[in-house]
Structure 1
Amino acid sequence: MGESLLQRLTASRLPRPAIQPVSQCTLLVDAGSNSSAFNDLMQSILGWMERRSGRALPGPAHDGKSFVIDDIGSQRTEAISIDTPRYWAARIDDADKNVPQRTWTTEIALAPQADGRVLFGTRLQCVSRGQFVEFDASVPSFVREVVESGRAWLDGINISAEPMLVESEDDADELCKLLWNGQRRSDVIVFSLPENSTNWADTIIPARDVARRLAGAAHVAIVSQAASFRLTDQVGKALSVYRQAVRTYRPGFDPALDEAAAHPLGLPNRIANWAGGPQAYSAFLINQTLNRTVSGGDSQRQLPPFLEAKRVAGELRRQTARIEGESDRDLLALAEQEIRDLTSSLEQIKEEQESYIVLADQEREEAQQQAEQQRQSNLFLRHRISLLESRLAQSAQPEPELPDTLDGFEVWCREHLSGSVELHSRAFQGIKKSQLDDVPLIYQSLLLLRDFYVPMRRDGGDAAKAAYDAKCMHLGIDEQPSFAGAGWGEHGDTYLVRWGKSRLLLDRHLKKGNSREERFCFRLYFTWLDEDQHVLVGWLPSHLDTRAT
């Protein structure tokens, strides 16, 4: 009988909800002419909520007062108002019209600022109590309406729901200011046009559609061919975007430190052949961008959850009642109501946290599986490359012809160094600034690493070490520890490069010449990536700062 009761209880228990964050936006909104931005936004949001709640909002709602709607036949709709400091927050649960037991929860917050503008934030969550069904991430429609009003600011710039058109070199410089903005929290997605095209609609996927669907959550720009050249001059070819490619510049962009992979690049051929076609790539790009708006560690600090606002409002209400001398009976009633609200809030918070933990575990497991698959693939490819390199060495292939110019340097590196020596984007910037007279020495030093240093590190042995030393002597090159050691931190990020999620120290360098004149002094700073079994070059061909300089 006990087992039968347990089975009945288990069968009747509702499945725990899966709460998945979808998107989050935080904007500053200007006041309109002869009106209050705070009241304008609140009335617009209340109208949007009323259309979804299933019944008319109570009269005090439009006066900015707190209210709750949880009647049968309506969707739970609630707002909290705090007078000092002024803060208004709302939340609505909107049942999905097509997927049973799925609800979209939208939280909104408004807070006036000292300069007359209003901090406006939204958070969208998907709550699934039944079978989980995949969905495309989105932003609430009223956010786009706010952006289209022309009064919204994101990352310090006035935004619209249309792509920024970056046509001239001056426009490109303004785009670079946005990319380099250390306070930027949002992605910048930059589309480029095909060669010789002047038609803004010639992007590989419709940039206008992406901009409208990401309005308020990210920046979208289209660069002309002339602007693309200017962008390349500013950030380097490895971190630029051109020939109909699409690049997403993440916050914290720094071309002096970042590897190209830190700011994902979509090549036109890859997008055209994407599973499901370019339209599927567009959905992927939007989903990835919106997912980043809710994945940051400070997302809840930027926009406190509605339940937190509700808790604070309850505390303030009770404190005000005590100051105004209300009766013990009234104070007790307020305390009991606050306890009920806290109990309900704690249960909701517990559900959210459990869902976040499950999601985090799933994402971590998927990431670990992908990382292991990638590691195994890299091991296989590394073994293949090693075999091919050994066969080439045994067949006495002629040395590649060394260019006497740095034109086409990146192409040469891809053709001759892949699999053994990788150049960081910062190294390509160094090449662009090169004043070295002995250009062939640059190529010789890279081949030295490929043909002698890498085999020495991979295979070891006295013979490999002797061959490497002999080649260094032949070229007149010394290999030494970088002048970093305990004092590298004195030079900020000079000796550091970002690689994946790590910051790597350029702990070794090749050197020739002691002159401080860049025409006659050669340096190449690098580090050995033990897991990947190849060299990462972070800077060449000039000297990096030391205490002596």
Structure 2
Amino acid sequence: MSMSFAKALAPLSQRIPRVVREHEVLRVTSWMPGDDPSAIARRAVAEVLKWAQRRAGGQLPAEAWDGRSFEFFSGGRNSSAVRLQAGTSDIWAIRADDPDKTVPERVWTTEVVLGLLPGEPAKFGARLLVSTPEVNLPIEPHTPGFVQQVAAKCRLMAGSQAILSTASEFIDGDDPEALIDHLLDPGRVLPTFVLTLPDVASADTPLIDPKSLARAVLGLAHVVVAHPATSWQLTERFGRRLSVFGGAARVYLPGFDDGADPYRHRLILMGELASAEGLARAMRWLRDTAAQESVRRTRLGSDVLTFAAIRSAALELYQTSLREGAASESKQLSAAQAQIIALQSQIEALRSEQDYYVTEYQKERERAEVAEAQAQASAYRIQTISDQLKSVGGNPDQGIVLPTQWSDLDDWCDRQFAGRLVLTPRARRGVRKPEFEAVQTAAYCLLWLATNGRDQRINGGGSLSNIPVMNGIQNAPCGADTYEFDWNGRRFSADWHIKNGGNVRDPVRCLRIYYCFDEQTQQIVVSDLPAHRRTGAT
């Protein structure tokens, strides 16, 4: 009779120690402005040591306050610091352990690195890790308290933006472009959480508490409160699909622009915040997002230095000095053993990071596969319903009203042509403020593509080459103007376009809609509009 491994090992399970894994919770990477980087770094070290002292369970040694390397052991609340000076570079790092007060075997570890490099401002970095045998880790990430101390005493910058411990408010009368400039800033490296006020006359604060959220994600994300006038400016600038208003909240990730995918910059609707449970769930998700993005967007060894790597480098320098000073073999052996231990810790940190990225890749791949399957199923369902309606003499597109403003065009396409026609980010940017004036002409051409043009692609019924779409406008192959583009992780060729007649190059009168047909999703993919593209042929 066969027996599974699990059953065979069941009697021994109590004797087998549980596997303890180290998980990285969050990373803070920043720099500190000022004319005297050395003095600023010393001030920051002092703030970190004050924080470490409160958690140490004892008095830190004098070496700590002198800015030198030290080790302090106190019943699991251990602290170690390394000072690495090489040439004109000066790096100080500390690693502090703190057993969880309520969960057995869970240990929190904080690493902080401060660096001085010649000709550069002082660098500040921190990592929060947790070692635990728990399979699931039900925690709500929160930036360690010393980050707020350092931000208050020394100022911290992430990219081109200041790290603030309070939410920024954009109210009536403020520069309406300030928030837009912030979101579009290419130097913004942190997510921005925009909270808005409910559409109630008495509402003066968002549903999500901006103060507690700003403290929790300090150094991980920016928190902004947008009052109604600012929300309106966002809608005017980016359209409803990329805006946020009426008590909702939105996450604007770094790299956001006019053509961004709205689903990447998640919107939390007011309805999701209507209950205490919904508010708690949203707050937890925002904190998780900030922490996960901080790990996902930074790299160990470049953006963030680990304590193990710095200790290993310091031990290597020490070992070299021992050899050059003809130290005894016992001293050299002791230094070599310490360096081996440091290298093992460094390897473990890199292995942990690799495991994290592999896990994240698998999650993203599964989400992408599910999303693609759902999109295809939805498109098939839409097509089936449309065919059934047509078979009984109905017209699913009857009564469609063409938009009169370019700012409404992309939303209109999303609502009317879901599963049939899609605009790429470049196409969405093209309709922000084009010179071509006849918005309803372009809209009618898109309607033709989503209906007649697509139906002929799917069902056949004659050539689509050089056939009229409306008076003076025809559908034709791109010919020498064909070009390749990427969309949704795949490569396509824009080999067809809708164009108005004659050799028109005036952007006010010239219309071009470049597109292709995606056999896999059965959609028209519009790559660019409404201007004529500059190509090798033109």
Q: TM-score, normalised by structure 2?
A: 0.86
Aligned residue for 2:182, secondary structure, equals helix
- 1:400 has 2:396 as partner: no
What are the within-5 Å matches in structure 2 for residues 212-291 of structure 1? Answer: 212-256=215-259, 258-272=260-274, 276-291=277-292
Aligned twin of 1:416: 416
Cα RMSD (Å)? 3.5
TM-aligned CA deviation for residue 363 of structure 1: 4.0
TM-aligned CA deviation for residue 327 of structure 1: 3.4
Aligned twin of 2:515: 526
Aligned twin of 2:5: none
- 1:430 has 2:418 as partner: no
Distance in 2 between residues matched to 1:247 and 1:482, nearest whole Å = 42
Cα 1:466–1:396 shift into 2, 3 Å:
farther
1:198 touches 1:224 (CA, 8 Å); kept in 2? Answer: no
2:53 touches 2:60 (CA, 8 Å); kept in 1? Answer: yes
TM-aligned CA deviation for residue 474 of structure 1: 7.0
Aligned residue for 1:477, secondary structure, equals strand
What are the within-5 Å matches in structure 2 for residues 12-411 of structure 1? Answer: 12-30=15-33, 36-70=39-73, 73-84=75-86, 85-114=89-118, 117-130=121-134, 132-149=136-153, 151-167=155-171, 171-195=175-199, 200-201=204-205, 203-256=206-259, 258-272=260-274, 276-296=277-297, 298-323=299-324, 326-329=325-328, 332-356=329-353, 358-394=355-391, 395-397=393-395, 399-400=398-399, 402-403=401-402, 405-406=404-405, 408-410=408-410
Query: CA offsets, 1:222-261, max 9 Å, x none?
Result: 22232233334444443333333322222223324x3222
1:260 touches 1:425 (CA, 8 Å); kept in 2? Answer: no
- 1:543 has 2:523 as partner: no
TM-aligned CA deviation for residue 121 of structure 1: 0.7
Letter in 2 for 1:385: I
2:466 touches 2:476 (CA, 8 Å); kept in 1? Answer: no
Cα 1:170–1:150 shift into 2, 3 Å:
farther
TM-aligned CA deviation for residue 360 of structure 1: 4.5
Cα 1:381–1:233 shift into 2, 3 Å:
closer
TM-aligned CA deviation for residue 334 of structure 1: 4.2
Aligned residue for 1:100, secondary structure, equals coil
Structure 2 spans left out of the alignment, 5+ residues:
1-8
State, as a whole percentage, how many aligned pairs show the same letter. 25
2:322 touches 2:332 (CA, 8 Å); kept in 1? Answer: no
Aligned residue for 1:222, secondary structure, equals strand
Query: CA offsets, 1:436-468, max 9 Å, x none?
Result: 4544422221121111232344x343x2x4478
Cα 1:403–1:61 shift into 2, 3 Å:
closer
Distance in 2 between residues matched to 1:406 and 1:503, nearest whole Å = 31
2:513 touches 2:526 (CA, 8 Å); kept in 1? Answer: yes
TM-aligned CA deviation for residue 146 of structure 1: 1.9
1:150 touches 1:160 (CA, 8 Å); kept in 2? Answer: no
Query: CA offsets, 1:1-44, max 9 Å, x none?
Result: xxxxx999986553332221111111222469999222221122
1:155 touches 1:185 (CA, 8 Å); kept in 2? Answer: yes
2:31 touches 2:157 (CA, 8 Å); kept in 1? Answer: yes
Cα 1:199–1:14 shift into 2, 3 Å:
same
Query: CA offsets, 1:351-376, max 9 Å, x none?
Result: 44554455455444444444444344
TM-aligned CA deviation for residue 285 of structure 1: 1.2
Cα 1:240–1:321 shift into 2, 3 Å:
same
Letter in 1 for 2:20: P
Letter in 2 for 1:14: P
Letter in 1 for 2:452: F
More helix by share: 1
Cα 1:36–1:167 shift into 2, 3 Å:
same
Distance in 1 between residues matched to 2:233 and 2:10, nearest whole Å = 69
2:76 touches 2:99 (CA, 8 Å); kept in 1? Answer: no
Letter in 1 for 2:63: P
Letter in 1 for 2:371: Q
Work out the number of aligned pairs and report it.
525
Cα 1:26–1:436 shift into 2, 3 Å:
closer
Cα 1:437–1:10 shift into 2, 3 Å:
closer
TM-aligned CA deviation for residue 196 of structure 1: 7.4
Of 188-197 and 27-36, deviating more is 27-36
**Structure with more contact order per residue of length (Cα contacts < 8 Å, sep ≥ 6):** 1
TM-aligned CA deviation for residue 116 of structure 1: 7.7
Cα 1:211–1:30 shift into 2, 3 Å:
same
Letter in 1 for 2:314: A
Aligned twin of 2:6: none
